């Protein structure tokens, strides 16, 4: 039996390693990690990275770069997302935004979780990146429009798109990017050149990035910080509202246990369900006692929704939601939801603490579900979209366990 809510048609967790046409599909967590850690033998092939022109950038975007330059980029930017930095530098920011948004929702009486999560994640991410020259609602609309793309098929040449679809992709993608550049990135760059701050844009300027470089990095951080965290907040909220015992446990827990609960939810519901790599040099991948030879030029689909329920990694009903469950040695509690290796997501501490800040405040209130959400799927990031989870504040004089915000005990 599965506790998952987002089940994509066609996905299966019973295929450990298979070859389908020109593409390998890997659902074994151990084998997927071997691919992700094969640093000099694979390169990024997800998020249409292979179709992003590289000759216009002085610094290759962190999303698509590989090798020593990428390592240096990651090392320098890691200081913005380290757990202690997230808690000390961004904790007050997150809680102040939460207090305002939850207060506004409470005053309205009813609200849609994904809309509150959108404005919350955009405001927090924009502050960290440095995109602070536009109203949050306007910036949110620009970032949302970027993902209204035609469908794609990574197993086919040119992603299976017709010329018309490529034109539509350019039209739908470039418009929001131009708007982001003119209204957000350019004013931020001009401001930070005069008065540097402790944000990502100031860091990029210091490192000699040009405007095109900075624009692409802002798209990367902005969309990753907004889209995936927004979806996970809504999904985690939905899980906690449907599991009263888990919700009560979450509300009385200290921060360490709350983060463990969220880690188990994101293991089952990874916002990015597939990662892709292109093999550049032949590599050998072993699963159990079977050896597979992957050749240069092969495309590899790492099925994260399958790896995260691999019974070799997560014994005892891996499809069930069980915070604090046993797992194999070297396996993280989140599985591969944040990737691993050179392209592992540096924003894991921020995403989980950002989610916790909102949900620990919101779910301590007397809320009930007005309407259940719908789920659809985004081909670009291979993730779910949860829309329409509407909640209502109920009148009550009895506060729920934990008060307005659970304490930080249990460290």
Q: What is the pLDDT of residues 83-102, one digit of tens each?
A: 888 888 899 999 999 999 99
> Coil, strand, or helix at residue 283?
strand
Give the β-pairing of 42-44 and 374-378.
unpaired
Are 101 and 124 contacting, i.e. CB atoms less than 8 angstroms apart?
no
Are 368 and 93 contacting, i.e. CB atoms less than 8 angstroms apart?
no
Query: What's the CA gap between 394 and 392, in Å, rounded?
Result: 6
**Helices vs. strands in the chain: H and E counts, helices first:** 14, 12
Residue among 264, 312, 305, 377 at smallest CA distance from 25? 305
Residue 57 is predicted with a pLDDT of 64
Given a cut of 50, the residues of the chain with pLDDT beneath it are 399-411
Show the tokens assigned to 287. Answer: 């699963």
Tokens 């990574």 found at: 154
Angle between helices 83-108 and 348-362 (to 10 degrees): 30
Query: What's the CA gap between 25 and 277, in Å, rounded?
Result: 11
- Partners of residue 278 on adjacent β-strands: 43, 299
Tokens 């620009």 found at: 142
State phi, psi for 284 to the nearest 5 degrees.
Answer: -110, 130
User: Would you put residue 287 in left (φ > 0), alpha (ψ -120 to 50) or beta?
Assistant: beta
Are 203 and 131 contacting, i.e. CB atoms less than 8 angstroms apart?
no
Residue 219 is predicted with a pLDDT of 84
Which domains does the chain carry?
Answer: 17-393 (1.10.630.10)
Sheet with 367-371: list strands edge to edge. Answer: 110-112, 390-393, 367-371
Residue 117 is predicted with a pLDDT of 97
Residue among 260, 339, 267, 345 at smallest CA distance from 306? 267
Ranges of H-type helices in 195-324: 200-206, 211-223, 229-242, 244-252, 255-268, 304-307
Show the tokens assigned to 363. Answer: 């779910």
Residue 406 is predicted with a pLDDT of 41
Q: Quick one: which H or E segment has residue 74?
A: helix 68-77
Q: What are the start-end ranges of the E strands in 35-106?
A: 42-44
Are 220 and 61 contacting, i.e. CB atoms less than 8 angstroms apart?
yes
Quote the pTM value.
0.90
Show the tokens assigned to 50. Answer: 């292979």
Could you give the C-alpha distances from 69 to 72, 75, 114, 213, 398, in angstroms and in order? 5, 10, 36, 14, 56
Q: What are the start-end ranges of the E strands in 295-346?
A: 299-303
């Amino acid at each position: 039996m599965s506790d998952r809510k987002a089940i994509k048609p066609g996905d299966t967790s019973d295929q450990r390693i298979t070859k389908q046409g020109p593409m390998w599909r890997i659902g074994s967590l151990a084998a997927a990690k071997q691919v992700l850690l094969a640093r000099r033998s694979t390169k990024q092939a997800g998020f249409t990275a292979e179709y992003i022109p590289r000759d216009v950038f002085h610094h290759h975007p962190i999303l698509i770069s590989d090798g020593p330059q990428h390592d240096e980029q990651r090392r320098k930017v890691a200081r913005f997302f380290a757990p202690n930095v997230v808690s000390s530098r961004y904790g007050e920011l997150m809680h102040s935004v939460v207090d305002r948004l939850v207060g506004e929702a409470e005053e309205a009486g009813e609200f849609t979780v994904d809309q509150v999560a959108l404005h919350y994640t955009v405001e927090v991410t924009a502050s960290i990146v440095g995109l602070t020259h536009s109203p949050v609602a306007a910036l949110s609309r620009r970032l949302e429009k970027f993902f209204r793309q035609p469908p794609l098929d990574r197993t086919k040449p040119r992603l299976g798109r017709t010329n018309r679809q490529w034109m539509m992709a350019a039209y739908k993608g470039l418009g929001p990017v131009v708007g982001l550049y003119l209204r957000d990135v350019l004013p931020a760059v001009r401001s930070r050149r005069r008065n540097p701050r402790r944000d990502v844009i100031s860091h990029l300027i210091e490192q000699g990035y040009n405007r095109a470089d900075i624009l692409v990095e802002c798209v990367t951080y902005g969309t990753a910080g907004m889209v995936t965290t927004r979806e996970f907040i809504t999904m985690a909220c939905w899980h906690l509202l449907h599991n009263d015992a888990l919700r009560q446990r979450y509300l009385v827990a200290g921060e360490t246990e709350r983060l463990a609960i969220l880690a188990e939810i994101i293991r089952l519901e990874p916002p990015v369900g597939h990662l892709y790599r292109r093999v550049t040099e032949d590599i050998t991948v072993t699963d159990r006692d079977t050896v597979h030879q992957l050749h240069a030029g092969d495309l590899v689909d790492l099925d994260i929704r399958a790896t995260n329920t691999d019974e070799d990694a997560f014994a005892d009903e891996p499809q069930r939601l069980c915070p604090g469950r046993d797992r194999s040695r070297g396996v993280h509690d989140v599985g591969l939801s944040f990737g691993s290796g050179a392209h592992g997501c540096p924003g894991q501490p921020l995403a989980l603490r950002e989610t916790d800040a909102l949900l620990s405040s919101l779910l301590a209130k007397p809320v009930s579900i007005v309407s259940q959400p719908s789920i659809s799927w985004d081909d670009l990031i291979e993730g779910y979209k949860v829309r329409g989870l509407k909640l209502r504040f109920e009148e009550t004089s009895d506060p729920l366990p934990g008060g307005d915000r659970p304490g930080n005990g249990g460290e």
